[in-house]
């Protein structure tokens, strides 16, 4: 247990028991009940969800059990992926982080970041919580936000008489717009007046300046710049998913719970996050990633102030014990994962990450050096059967060479052809023992492990060979809606095993 804060990496090729192992660890974490248990499952494994529910039930904690599932919005809890942040710039980073940064796209990504940041800052100043919906609305058309912000800002900052001045300017603009509609830059004459007024004022308020610069973009040029951002935002806000990840806090008829990480951590909640990556990878990875970075930012807060910061009778610097399990974690990982594994141990987070191969991590991060850095941050390694030699070497290269003694038997006989002599033949047998240095394990040992068996490197380089039990399935006492859900999940679960059936 004391080693768990050093994070654990579980590697194993498909169908060798990663998720079943996760079930065992998760059940124990829930049983121990000394901290929140958060599980990310991009593949939506029905057995895993059932196990978590049953474990929570056995502990009498069904009420603290949350299911968030992109594939089943009707029974899923709701969660605003961009509504909580320690720094406001995180909103922009979480959304634009999903855009490609290869080649030319990098510049567009930076632009999208800045634009979202302008919108997010204005929204927060207006007392509105950013979500995918309102960001999409204002990225498509910044004008209403500009007007709304200035109507809020001007009474606080402008000189007396600004109302009259702006009314006059609006009249002028209206006249001008009527006489020559082609000169109309904005949908509204009042926008023109507000813009002129603040330009004359020579303001230094960064939000006003940001909004002004956003307003000045030429429409066609601007559309090109956000060309990749809009489809992403639209995917995230379309249909039932939109209501799930951009919840309407004021809708009293919607009784699906809304959760956020701080609350989960305080009440030691048990959260299952199913991402339905098989159906829509892009949405799954965008949401998974944002949830992850939200968790990073929350864990940063905890690191600084403890998890009871701001609570009545809260202890300063109390650290929770957060058990985070990330199945198929290469699907979830983004650049923000690095600081998370790096520092989150200090905030009580113990990450157990499950993935198939080293190559997956590298493919996701796009960079071998970064992948090595991620690997380097996991102190514990559990390796089930893997396919690639390279992956097996992650374990075998960490092991020392050992000295073994080798016994060699030499025996021989030689005939004598000398007829004068009584000796017909001589024979000899020797046992030679020699010392030999060999690697403790060869990659081929790892690539030939049976299902459910593993080598573990724990406790500062202690090697263990283990066999995990296969937990029996139990799902008798699942509530009906969850049973329906797991049935659906089983149907949709794809594996390469028995593909011919
Ligand atoms: N400890 C074990 N002992 C015996 N058999 C096992 C064990 N763990 C898993 N298996 C067998 O392997 C199968 C696949 O296990 P599991 O779903 O955990 O694999 P996985 O590595 O998560 O695969 P995937 O890549 O599909 O997620 C199980 O259905 C079970 O039959
Ligand atoms: Mg699995």
Distance (Å) from CA 200 to ligand 1 centroid? 68
The CATH H-level (homologous superfamily) assignment of domain 4-79+247-400+443-486 is P-loop containing nucleotide triphosphate hydrolases (3.40.50.300)
What pLDDT shows up at residue 311? 72
Give the chain's largest Cα–Cα span: 139
Average pLDDT score over residue span 174-192: 84
Mutating to test ligand 1, I would choose from 12, 331, 353, 451 the residue with most ligand atoms within 8 A of its C-beta, which is: 451
Q: What is the pLDDT of residues 17-61, one digit of tens each?
A: 999 999 999 999 999 998 999 999 988 888 999 999 999 999 999
Structure tokens given for 107: 């510049």
pLDDT tops 60 at residue 301: yes
Distance (Å) from CA 375 to ligand 1 centroid? 23
* Band of residue 495 on the pLDDT scale cut at 50, 70, 90: low
Distance of CA 307 to the CA centre of its chain: 21
Mutating to test ligand 1, I would choose from 17, 25, 42 the residue with most ligand atoms within 8 A of its C-beta, which is: 17
Structure tokens given for 164: 């009259």
Distance (Å) from CA 328 to ligand 2 centroid? 7
Closest CA to ligand 1's atom 1: 452
Average pLDDT score over residue span 133-144: 92
Average pLDDT score over residue span 435-448: 94
pLDDT tops 60 at residue 499: no
Which residues, 6 or more positions from 41, have their beta carbon under 8 angstroms from its beta carbon? 48, 49, 272, 273, 274, 275, 327, 328
What pLDDT shows up at residue 491? 80
Query: Of the bound ligands, which one is closest to the alpha carbon of residue 382?
Result: 1
* Band of residue 83 on the pLDDT scale cut at 50, 70, 90: confident
* Band of residue 116 on the pLDDT scale cut at 50, 70, 90: very high
Buried b (16+ CB within 10 A) or exposed e, 148-174: bbbeebbeeebeeebeebbeebbeebb
What pLDDT shows up at residue 205? 92
Per-range mean pLDDT, top range of 16-25, 107-116, 195-204, 297-306: 16-25
Mutating to test ligand 1, I would choose from 13, 14, 20, 24 the residue with most ligand atoms within 8 A of its C-beta, which is: 20
Any idea where the domains of the chain sit in the sequence? 4-79+247-400+443-486, 89-237, 404-415+424-439
pLDDT tops 80 at residue 279: no
Q: In which element (H, E) is residue 404 found?
A: strand 401-415
Closest CA to ligand 1's atom 23: 15
Q: How far is the C-alpha of 333 from the C-alpha of 326, rounded, in Å?
A: 10
Average pLDDT score over residue span 3-17: 92
Closest CA to ligand 1's atom 28: 17
Name the residue with higher pLDDT: 363 or 345. Answer: 363
Mutating to test ligand 1, I would choose from 330, 452, 453, 499 the residue with most ligand atoms within 8 A of its C-beta, which is: 452
Average pLDDT score over residue span 302-311: 77
* Band of residue 442 on the pLDDT scale cut at 50, 70, 90: very high
Average pLDDT score over residue span 54-73: 92
Q: Are 16 and 451 in contact (CB under 8 A)?
A: yes
* Band of residue 119 on the pLDDT scale cut at 50, 70, 90: very high
Name the residue with higher pLDDT: 389 or 5. Answer: 389
For the beta carbon of residue 293, count every other beta carbon within 10 angstroms: 23
Q: How far is the C-alpha of 467 from the C-alpha of 464, rounded, in Å?
A: 10
Q: 58-67, 93-102, 200-209, 452-461: which range is least confident on average?
A: 93-102
DSSP 242-268: HHHHS--TT-TT--S-B--HHHHHHTT
Atom of ligand 1 nearest to the CA of 12: 21
pLDDT tops 90 at residue 168: yes
Distance (Å) from CA 327 to ligand 2 centroid? 7
What pLDDT shows up at residue 67? 94
Q: Which residues does a 6 A CB cutoff place in the pocket of ligand 1? A: 12, 14-20, 43, 451-452, 468-470, 495
- Mean pLDDT (the chain) is 88
What pLDDT shows up at residue 498? 55
Q: What is the pLDDT of residues 207-237, one digit of tens each?
A: 999 999 999 888 788 888 788 899 889 988 8
Distance (Å) from CA 321 to ligand 1 centroid? 28
Q: Are 351 and 8 in contact (CB under 8 A)?
A: yes
Q: In which element (H, E) is residue 148 found?
A: helix 143-157
pLDDT > 90: percent of the chain: 50
For the beta sheet containing 453-458, the strands, ordered from the edge strand earlier in sequence to the opposite edge, are 65-69, 270-274, 37-41, 322-326, 349-355, 8-11, 380-383, 453-458, 462-467
pLDDT tops 90 at residue 273: yes
Distance (Å) from CA 33 to ligand 1 centroid? 26
Structure tokens given for 153: 């800002």
What pLDDT shows up at residue 473? 84
Q: What is the pLDDT of residues 393-422, one digit of tens each?
A: 999 999 999 999 999 999 999 998 888 888
Closest CA to ligand 1's atom 14: 15
What pLDDT shows up at residue 496? 54
């Amino acid at each position: 247990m004391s080693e768990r804060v050093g994070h654990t990496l579980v590697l194993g090729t498909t169908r060798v028991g990663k998720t079943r192992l996760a079930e065992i660890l998760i059940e124990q974490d829930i049983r121990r009940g000394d901290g929140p248990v958060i599980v990310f499952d991009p593949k939506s494994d029905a057995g895993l969800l059932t196990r978590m529910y049953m474990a929570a039930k056995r502990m009498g904690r069904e009420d603290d059990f949350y299911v968030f599932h992109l594939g089943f919005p009707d029974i899923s809890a709701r969660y605003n992926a961009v509504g909580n942040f320690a720094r406001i710039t995180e909103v922009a980073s979480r959304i634009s982080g999903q855009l490609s940064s290869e080649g030319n796209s990098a510049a567009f990504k930076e632009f999208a970041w800045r634009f979202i940041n302008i919108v997010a800052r204005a929204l927060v100043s207006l007392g509105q919580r950013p979500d995918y919906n309102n960001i999409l609305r204002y990225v498509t058309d910044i004008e209403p936000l500009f007007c709304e912000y200035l109507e809020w800002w001007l009474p606080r900052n402008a000189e007396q008489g600004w109302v009259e001045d702006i009314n006059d300017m609006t009249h002028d603009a209206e006249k001008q717009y009527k006489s020559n509609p082609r000169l109309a830059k904005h949908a509204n004459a009042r926008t023109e007046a507000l813009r002129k007024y603040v330009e004359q004022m020579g303001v230094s308020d960064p939000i006003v300046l940001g909004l002004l610069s956003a307003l000045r973009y030429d429409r066609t040029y601007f559309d090109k710049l956000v060309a990749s951002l809009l489809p992403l935002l639209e995917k995230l806000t379309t249909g039932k998913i939109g209501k799930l990840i951009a919840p309407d806090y004021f809708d009293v008829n919607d009784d699906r719970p809304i959760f956020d990480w701080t609350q989960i951590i305080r009440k030691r909640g048990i959260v299952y996050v199913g991402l339905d990556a098989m159906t829509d990878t892009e949405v799954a990875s965008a949401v998974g990633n944002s949830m992850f970075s939200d968790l990073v930012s929350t864990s940063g807060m905890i690191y600084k102030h403890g998890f009871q910061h701001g609570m009545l009778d809260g202890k300063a610097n109390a650290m929770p014990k957060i058990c985070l399990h990330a199945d198929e974690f290469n699907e979830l990982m983004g650049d923000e994962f690095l600081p998370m594994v790096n520092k989150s141990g200090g905030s009580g987070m113990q990450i157990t990450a499950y993935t198939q191969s080293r190559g997956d991590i590298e493919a996701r991060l796009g960079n071998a050096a970064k992948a090595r850095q991620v690997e380097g941050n996991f102190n514990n390694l559990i390796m089930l059967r893997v396919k690639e030699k390279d992956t097996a070497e992650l374990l075998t290269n960490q092991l020392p060479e050992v000295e073994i003694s080798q016994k060699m038997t030499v025996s021989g006989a030689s005939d004598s052809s000398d007829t004068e002599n009584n000796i017909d033949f001589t024979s000899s047998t020797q046992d030679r023992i020699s010392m030999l240095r060999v690697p403790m394990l060869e990659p081929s040992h790892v690539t030939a492990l049976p299902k459910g068996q593993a080598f573990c490197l724990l406790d500062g380089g202690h090697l263990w060979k283990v066999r995990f039990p296969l937990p029996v399935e139990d799902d008798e006492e699942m509530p009906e809606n969850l049973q329906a859900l797991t049935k659906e999940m089983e149907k949709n679960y794809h594996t390469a095993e028995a593909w011919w059936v």
